[in-house]
Structure 1
Amino acid sequence: MSIPVVTVGQSREDLVGGLERLHGPVTVVRRCSELAELLAACQSGLARAAVVAEGSDELTASLVDRLTAVGVVIVALTDSATETARLTAIGVTAAPAGVDSAALAGRISGAVAQWALPGSVQAGDSGFADTGAAIRTLPGEGDDLPAEPSGAGQVLAVWGPAGSPGRTLVAVNMAGELAAAGNSVLLIDADSYGASVAGLLGLLDESAGLAQACRLADLGQLDADALLKIATSVALKPGTLQVLTGITRADRWTELRASALGAVFEKAREVADYIVVDTGFCLEADEELSFDTMAPRRNAATLRSLELADTVYAVGSADSIGVPRLVRGLSELEAAVPQASPRVILNKVRASAVGRFPERQLREAWERYGPAEGIASFLPSDNAACDAALLSGSLLLEAAPESGLRYAIAETVCAPVQQKRRSSVFSSTAKRHLKG
């Protein structure tokens, strides 16, 4: 069966004509004058492949996802090695501008066949219609396959339901403890509703580092060096922490496209041992709320972060309001990201809100009414330490190194801090804060 193809650009007549004369693998069904016309033709279901003869520099990862979401692969003609590398990075099959018709038809057939392989992604990513899609590339026949990602960095996503359970506090201090243990750590603020990592660390940053990285990733221009230049370096007494700050206004959420964010994570794995991500709270699948399935998704950043995470920490407040919210949130998380398998953290644990022996009471209540996931960690409330850290724009390990909360967070991420082994987080220092 012949593959229907649309083209754009002033390609050589003998090339397009040659494709038409092959009478076999491909058929040119429309010649478009500009990229917008090609996009409209592809979204109408007219073609399975698009040949971009000119203007490949206008192709972005988001546009490629928009086309692959409707089952269209892209082949671009270019003689530039730099442009070929960029196109391959965003999922485009590149071919020389002087390629003959038969070879071009082979590239098109190979790209379509690769797209249709069992187990390959056959839809767009969570930036558009599918919240469970993965990053992919579409190499053409005869292309050198891109190298496997060399990074082995672990992505740790910190999520929690609405109601300020302490996601950012936990994420920032987890990153700090990992950095203090001698690891290279990149902290990413992917909260598209209320980014606050910069404020918590006292950074006067208005550049929105994550948005910058996503912009470069969307253009296929993000590499490890560029990522490190964008990241803000935070000096700690025992080490250094790299930070990608969040968007400066909530209305900039459209800059955090899921496809670009996935590419940022891929590069982040190459430059850091651990990538700690502070996510937003909302897990709604946006396509259920909109008739335009190709529009950007409000919660794409959170969903993509959770999808790509190696470990998900679910944080909830340890009180009569926070615990039920967390239970409902975990059910939503399982539906949105079934592979997450979160580790549950109860934060702000205090006797005044739960009663005597709060850890035991919370565990018994959770076993009776909570979901299958057990409680992995209890973090004691320590308002004095948190206030001191916030006032100084620093981490607990610097502002309150002896805090029971600091020790509990360090133990949660297995950071080898100097501390005496405790059977419970509610001993010595922690107990003093509970009484307060």
Structure 2
Amino acid sequence: MNIPVVTVGQSREDLVGGLERLHGPVTVVRRCAELPELLAACQSGLARAAVVADGSEGLTASLVDRLGAVGVAIIALTDNADEAARLRKIGVASALTGVESAELSDRIADAVEQLTGAGRRSATWSSLADTGAALGTVQAEPAVVPDRPGAGRIIAVWGPVGSPGRTTVAANIAGEMAADGKQVLLVDADSYGASIAAVLGLLDESAGLAQACRLADQGALDASALQKVATPVATKSGTFTVLTGITRADRWTELRAPALALVLERARQIVDVIVVDTGFCLEADEELSFDTMAPRRNAATLRPLELADTIYAVGAADPVGVPRLVRGLAELEAAVPQASPLVVMNKVRASSVGRSPERQLQDAWERYGPASGIETFLPYDPAAADAALLAGSLLLETAPDSALRRAVRSLVCAPDQQKAKSSVFSSTAGRRSKG
């Protein structure tokens, strides 16, 4: 196997000569003066590996992802243990600057094998959400214990265009789970109309998620840093934290898929539940661009959906919202084939559907909807929703006994309780409407 390699940096004059004298599979095809030159050489298809002998501090998760997208593995040389740990976080293999040529050649071959080997690609890195690819790491010396996968659960709340109530559902799910004693992080990943901060009455101008992505891109996001950029929200029943969304829609480029994946994986390690309020659009927008390496606006929606353990698909229960949800679920299946969304019908009311709205919706869904059934119905309760919005709070505080709050809570209660949940239109708990 021949492995063409490009290098950058002049810190080791004998680096290239040592590799060439081995007469092994590794062949140095170009020396580059700086990282942009190396990136251009790699994107031209010239190399399968890159050795960064100097300037590793310029490597970011986004750059690594772009190189991985064209099948280029990266080895960085550094004697700094902190830098080696940072590089490992963004998917870069490293070695000491004094590494022998034979060992460096072996590490290059291993890195290429890990990048291209079948079944070794990490789910936290690129897929439909972006154009990059992951690089499995090779430990630097001295050895560092790798981060363990987190046990936190990711819940993504998605819905089609038309304001079906994604943000209201996401925020109140976070509040209900916090009230149950769980450590919860609420993430506003809507790159079109972030609104979690407004819903919760937060005076935020810094966009916590953008800050977290910036730190993750640099390999500097640890538990302490994530907690600093997250905003705590205290309710009478519990406290959760929030990564607020971008303050303007034109800042969407700050939410790149590789960095966002790192943020979610780091959050898994420190909280029990991550609730992500996503955008509506699932369009694979790289098809609309001649630059296939450009950042993708919809990656901020697609990546959480790809990583989610549970997806709630929220649709408005009216003659416009239901068809939109049906079409949206078909798009979701095409964009994220592994997804198994739980359908949530929101704003259920007789005035828009007819008498016995739940039964009407259920019958229509069985005839025209997807194979998956409706998980739950959320009643149209404008008084409760408006009171919460006016107060910048959650239903559990402003309308704890409302039908809407009880229905949202039924989504996150214990499984045995869910079996006994009642119709949102029942006048008595535990008794379904027969109308």
Normalising by structure 2, report the TM-score: 0.94
Task: Please name the residue that 2:167 is paired with.
Answer: 168
Alignment partner of 1:33 is 2:39: no
Structure 1 residue 149 displacement after superposition = 2.6
| Contact 1:212–1:230 (CA under 8 A) maintained in structure 2 | yes
Q: Once the 2 structures are TM-superposed, how far is the Cα of residue 287 of structure 1 from its aligned partner?
A: 1.4
8 Å contact 1:177–1:397 — kept in the other structure?
Answer: yes
The Cα offsets for residues 209-248 of structure 1, whole Å up to 9 and x where unpaired, read as 0000000000011011111111100011011011000000
In the aligned structure 2, how far is the partner of 1:200 from the partner of 1:328? 28
DSSP 3-state at the match of 1:410? helix
Deviates more, 1:107-116 or 1:196-205: 107-116
In the other structure, the counterpart of 1:103 is: 103
8 Å CA contact 1:111, 1:140 repeated in 2? no
Whole-Å separation in 2 of the counterparts to 1:366 and 1:294: 40
Amino acid at match of 2:398: A
**Farther off after superposition, 195-204 or 107-116:** 107-116
2 CA distance for matches of 1:150 and 1:35? 31
Shift of 1:121: 2.8
Q: Distance in 2 between matches of 1:108 and 1:242?
A: 41
Equivalent position of 2:300 in the other structure: 301
2: CA distance, partners of 1:57 / 1:147:
20
> Could you tell me whether the CA contact under 8 Å between 1:149 and 1:266 is conserved in 2?
no
What is the rounded CA distance, in whole Å, between the counterparts of 2:422 and 2:294 in structure 1? 51
Whichever residue aligns with residue 405 of structure 1, its letter is L
Q: Measure the CA separation in 2 of the matches of 1:393 and 1:423.
A: 28
Q: Once the 2 structures are TM-superposed, how far is the Cα of residue 143 of structure 1 from its aligned partner?
A: 8.3
Which portions of structure 1, spanning 4 or more consecutive aligned residues, are displaced by more than 4 angstroms?
122-127, 140-146
Structure 1 match to 2:342: 343
Deviation at 1:116, TM superposition (A): 2.2
Distance 2:153 2:191 in 1: 22
Q: What is the letter of the counterpart of residue 10 of structure 2? A: Q
Change (3 A) 1:136 1:346: farther
Give the equivalent residue in structure 1 for 2:374: 375
Percent identical residues: 72
Q: In structure 2, how many angstroms separate the alpha carbons of the residues matched to 1:323 and 1:383?
A: 19
Matches for 1:84-163 after TM superposition, within 5 Å: 84-121=84-121, 124-126=126-128, 128-129=130-131, 137-139=136-138, 144=143, 147=146, 149-163=148-162
Q: Distance in 1 between matches of 2:62 and 2:392?
A: 36
8 A contact 1:73–1:138 mirrored in 2 = no
1:208 and 1:180 map into 2 onto residues whose CA distance is 25
How many Å apart are 1:428 and its aligned residue? 2.9
Residue aligning to 1:433 = none
In the alignment, which residue of structure 2 is the partner of 1:73? Answer: 73
Alignment of 1:253 with 2:255, yes or no, is no
Superposition deviation, residue 144 in structure 1: 4.7
Give the C-alpha shift of residue 129 in structure 1.
2.3
Give 1:56's aligned residue: 56
Task: Supply the AA of the counterpart residue of 2:38.
Answer: L
In the TM superposition, 1:260-279 aligns within 5 A as 260-279=259-278
Alignment pair present for 1:14 and 2:14: yes
Q: Matched residues in 2 for 1:136 and 1:285: separation?
A: 23
> Residue 79 and residue 422 in structure 1: after superposition, are their counterparts in 2 closer, same or farther (change >3 A)?
closer
Secondary structure in structure 1 of the residue aligned to 2:151 = coil
Q: Which residue number in structure 1 is paired with residue 433 of structure 2? A: none
User: How far apart are residue 199 of structure 1 and its match?
Assistant: 0.1
CA distance in 2, matches of 1:143, 1:343: 46
**What is the SS of the residue equivalent to 1:426?**
coil
- Structure 1, 144-153 or 107-116: larger mean CA deviation: 144-153
Q: What is the CA-CA distance between 1:11 and the residue it aligns to?
A: 2.9
1:314-353 CA deviation, whole Å, 9 max, x = no partner?
0000000000000000000000001110000000000111
Tell me by how many angstroms 1:96 deviates.
0.5
- Larger deviation: 359-368 or 137-146? 137-146
Show structure 1 runs of 5+ residues with no match. 431-436
Report the alpha carbon displacement of residue 13 of structure 1 after superposing the two structures with TM.
Answer: 1.9
| Mapped contact 1:114–1:139 kept (Cα < 8 A) | no
Residues 78 and 97 in structure 1, CA contact (< 8 A), matched pair in contact too: yes
Change (3 A) 1:362 1:383: same
8 Å CA contact 1:404–1:429 kept in 2: the answer is no
The amino acid of 1:129's aligned partner reads: T
Compute the displacement of 1:125 (Å): 4.2
CA–CA separation in structure 1 for the residues paired with 2:190 and 2:12: 47
Change (3 A) 1:280 1:136: farther
Partner of 1:403: 402
| Residues in 1 aligned to 2:414 and 2:227: alpha-carbon distance in whole angstroms | 24
Report the counterpart of residue 362 of structure 1 in structure 2.
Answer: 361
For this pair of structures, how many residues does the alignment match?
A: 428
Q: Distance in 2 between matches of 1:392 and 1:325?
A: 31
CA drift at 1:139: 2.0
CA deviation profile, 1:25-80 (whole Å, cap 9, x unmatched): 21110001111110000001100100101110000000000001000001011000
Helix, strand or coil for the counterpart of 1:221?
A: coil
1:391 corresponding residue in structure 2: 390
CA spacing shift, 1:176–1:165, aligned 2, 3 Å: same
d(CA) in 2 for partners of 1:323, 1:171: 20
Deviation string for 1:192-214 (max 9, x for gaps)? 00000000000001110000000
1:244 aligned onto 2:234: no
C-alpha spacing 1:429/1:352, structure 2 compared with 1 (3 Å): farther
Task: Provide the TM-score with structure 1 as the length reference.
Answer: 0.94
Q: CA RMSD for the aligned pairs?
A: 2.2
Contact 1:39 1:67 in 2 (8 A): yes
* Structure 1 letter corresponding to 2:396: L
Work out the CA distance in 1 between the residues paired with 2:369 and 2:274. Answer: 29
Give per-residue Cα distances to partners, 1:120-169, cap 9 Å, x unaligned: 23994455326xx6x65332698857535352111000000000000000
Return the letter of the residue paired with 1:375: I
CA contact (8 A) 1:157 1:278 kept: yes
Aligned-partner residue type, residue 358 of structure 1: P
Distance, in Å, in 2 between the alignment partners of 1:348 and 1:171 is: 15
Equivalent pair of 2:149/2:265 in contact (CA under 8 Å): no
Q: For the structure 1 residues 407 and 318, does the alpha-carbon distance in structure 2 shift closer, same or farther, using more than 3 Å as the test?
A: same
Change (3 A) 1:141 1:198: closer
Assess if the C-alpha contact under 8 Å between 1:125 and 1:259 holds in 2.
Answer: no
The alpha-carbon deviation at position 259 of structure 1 amounts to: 0.4
| Contact 1:15 1:100 (8 Å CA) reproduced | no
Q: Report the residue type matching 2:247 in the other structure.
A: T
